[in-house]
């Protein structure tokens, strides 16, 4: 009983079953030359896997996971919008129509942007982000304080900026999208929370809010997509950054050093 080369390889690839597999197996048992060929094939397979498998163990660049997470948030926001629009329409048709138009525009802007180069977000950002303008009314309390005219993170936000890793995202109210170093070496982090999203950079005194985007929950669902706000921030971060975003290991190391050199 002879076994063709193709059959032997199909057997090695796990493509044969039942009677076919049994027949090849019997032939191999009876013929040392066949067994030898099968063994050579097995060694080749191990050599290939030995060569390529380690790639799968390398830490995945944060930009990739951030990109996927941003898409997930965009979708979640879309669903949310459908619901809130329906409610608004029932209340006042005209108002809802306007909101939908705004949403469509926000969406087409976000989708139409060329989706990033190496950085995760290769968006040339032309939009100047509101530098704390929206924050003015909220300065008195909450996650932001003022120091010499600069806006500083405080309270929970400061704590999260200190401790939360972008690579190990919790389910808390503050999300860290990515971390990077800007020219001069300061560590900066992109964050998003219910009320405020932005980029914070660490100096001797604490986290200075370099960029902020207003994003009150109500405002956001009607006029701005979380996804597009994230993308805007990622683009701003890309502009500020000196080099690639930190990967998980670098982030861990930076945290251990208190985000200072």
Partner 1 sequence: MSSTRFCEDLTAMLPRLRRFARGLTQDHADADDLCQQTIERALKARKQWQEGTRLDAWVYRIMRNQWIDEIRARTRRSQTFVHEDQGVNVGMDGDRDAENRVELANVDRALGRLPDEQREAVVLVMVEGFGYKEAAEILGIPQGTLTSRLGRGREALLRELGETA
Q: Name which of 187, 209, 68, 72 is nearest 133 in CA terms.
A: 209
CB burial readout 11-46, b (16+ within 10 A) else e = bbeeebeeeeeeebeebbeeeeebeebbeeeeeeee
Selected from 2, 19, 32, 51, the binder of partner 1 by CB under 8 A is: 51
Smaller CB separation from partner 1, 58 or 94: 58
Percentages (nearest 5) of helix, strand, coil residues in the chain: 55, 15, 30
Smaller CB separation from partner 1, 33 or 68: 68
Cα distance between residue 259 and residue 209, in whole Å: 15
Given the rule CB under 8 A, which of 44-52, 88-96, 123-131, 194-202 is the region that contacts partner 1?
Answer: 44-52
We find the least distance from the C-beta atom of residue 136 to partner 1, in angstroms, to be 36
Selected from 29, 30, 35, 47, the binder of partner 1 by CB under 8 A is: 47
Return the DSSP state at 216: -
Smaller CB separation from partner 1, 3 or 96: 3
- Both tokens of residue 75? 């979708």
We find the least distance from the C-beta atom of residue 41 to partner 1, in angstroms, to be 7
55 binds partner 1 (CB under 8 A): yes
147: phi then psi, degrees, rounded to nearest 5: -145, 115
Classify residue 241 as left (phi > 0), alpha (psi -120 to 50) or beta.
beta
Cα distance between residue 164 and residue 88, in whole Å: 36
Selected from 21, 27, 61, 193, the binder of partner 1 by CB under 8 A is: 61
We find the least distance from the C-beta atom of residue 69 to partner 1, in angstroms, to be 7
208: phi then psi, degrees, rounded to nearest 5: -90, 130
Q: Return the residues of window 64-103 that contact partner 1 according to CB under 8 A.
A: 64-65, 67-69, 71-72, 75-76
**Angle value at C-alpha 57, between 248 and 182, nearest 5 degrees:** 25
38 binds partner 1 (CB under 8 A): no
60 binds partner 1 (CB under 8 A): yes
We find the least distance from the C-beta atom of residue 52 to partner 1, in angstroms, to be 5
Given the rule CB under 8 A, which of 10-18, 177-185, 206-214, 228-236 is the region that contacts partner 1?
Answer: 10-18
Q: Which residues in the chain belong to E strands, given as ranges?
A: 144-147, 150-153, 174-181, 187-193, 196-203, 206-214
Selected from 5, 91, 94, 183, the binder of partner 1 by CB under 8 A is: 5
Q: Which residues bind partner 1 (CB under 8 A)?
A: 5-6, 9-10, 13-15, 40-41, 43-53, 55-58, 60-61, 63-65, 67-69, 71-72, 75-76, 111, 115-116, 118, 120
């Amino acid at each position: 009983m002879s076994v063709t080369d193709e059959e032997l390889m199909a057997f090695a690839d796990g493509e044969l079953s039942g009677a076919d597999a049994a027949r090849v197996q019997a032939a191999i048992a009876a013929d040392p030359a066949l067994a030898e060929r099968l063994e050579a094939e097995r060694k080749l397979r191990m050599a290939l896997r030995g060569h390529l498998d380690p790639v799968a163990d390398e830490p995945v660049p944060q930009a990739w996971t951030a990109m996927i997470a941003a898409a997930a948030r965009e979708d979640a926001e879309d669903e949310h919008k459908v619901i809130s629009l329906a409610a608004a329409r029932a209340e006042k048709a005209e108002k809802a129509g306007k909101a939908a138009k705004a949403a469509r525009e926000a969406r087409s802007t976000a989708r139409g942007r060329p989706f990033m180069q190496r950085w995760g977000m290769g968006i040339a950002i032309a939009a100047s982000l509101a530098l704390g303008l929206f924050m003015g009314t909220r300065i008195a309390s909450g996650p932001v304080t003022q120091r010499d005219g600069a806006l500083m993170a405080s309270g929970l936000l400061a704590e999260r900026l200190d401790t939360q890793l972008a690579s190990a995202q919790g389910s808390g109210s503050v999300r860290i999208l990515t971390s990077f170093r800007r020219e001069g070496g300061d560590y900066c982090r992109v964050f998003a929370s219910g009320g405020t999203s932005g980029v914070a950079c660490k100096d001797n005194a604490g986290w200075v809010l370099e960029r902020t985007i207003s994003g009150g929950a109500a405002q956001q669902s009607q006029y701005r997509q979380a996804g597009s706000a994230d993308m805007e921030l990622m683009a701003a971060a890309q502009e500020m950054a000196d080099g690639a975003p930190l990967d998980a290991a670098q982030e861990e190391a930076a945290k251990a050093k208190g985000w200072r050199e």
